[in-house]
Amino acid sequence: MSFEKNLLERIASYIPGYAGYKEKEVRREADALLRRHIASILSSAAAQLVLSPTDARAVAANPDARFLWDSVKAALDKVTQKIDKAPHGYSGFFDLVKVDEAALEQVYRHDLALVEAAKKAADAVALLKALRPGTAEWADALRQILAALQSLDVAVDERNKILKGIAEVPPPVWEKPAGGEKKKGLLDRLFKRG
């Protein structure tokens, strides 16, 4: 319980007003608050991705540098839109009366990782301003930002799967796996079955 509270406090340190998912009434609001905060971090980072006219000409003259620059801007926009435009409360997770503590901890861990990954990507974008566009260091920094954004994109998809998986309808009891014993999944832990 204290570990879960620690996770919740760490997330709340990034997002004022974040209350977590324990109470059914505030789950959708907490989810929207989290996603808005992450989208805000990424939008601020996107606003920093500007080149002076001289730097823009230098980047445009180098096809590899231009491709990297455009890839970072596109990846940043894609992740921001994916987080910001996700349907509110699309998952049955938001309708459950009671959610298992272990399942909540898994969601909190993932949410904290998302916030920290977004902040890390934004910090890397901020450091990019100190580098001269078109140089090898600048290209390496762009590659690192692109890798961070791609892993953030995957993490957003994983979060969606986690939330959907918590509320999935279990297969009928008569459909047992071929191996005999049934693995205990999130739904089983959630409803404390078997």
| Digit-coded pLDDT (tens) for 17-69 | 766 665 656 667 777 788 889 999 999 999 999 989 999 998 899 899 999 99
* 23 lies in some domain: yes
Examine residue 28 and state whether it is found in any structural domain, yes or no.
yes
Residue 118 has pLDDT above 90, yes or no: yes
Give the predicted TM-score (pTM) of the model: 0.70
Whether 173 is covered by a domain: the verdict is no
Q: Which two tokens stand for residue 151?
A: 């892993």
174 in a structural domain: no
| C-alpha dihedral, 101 to 102 to 107 to 112, nearest 10° | 90
* Cβ–Cβ < 8 Å for 176, 182: yes
- Whether 147 is in a domain gets the answer yes
The verdict on residue 176 lying in a domain is: no
The span from the CA of 72 to the CA of 67, in Å, is 9
Task: Tell whether 111 is covered by a domain.
Answer: yes
Confirm whether 153 is domain-assigned.
yes
Higher pLDDT among residues 56 and 162, named by residue: 56
Contacts 24+ apart (CB under 8 A), 69-72: 69/133, 69/142, 71/142, 71/146, 72/142, 72/145, 72/146, 72/149
Q: How many CA atoms lie within 13 A of 138 on its CB side?
A: 19
Domain count, the chain: 1
Residue from 37, 48, 47, 45 nearest 115 by CA: 37
Domain that holds residue 60: 2-167+181-190
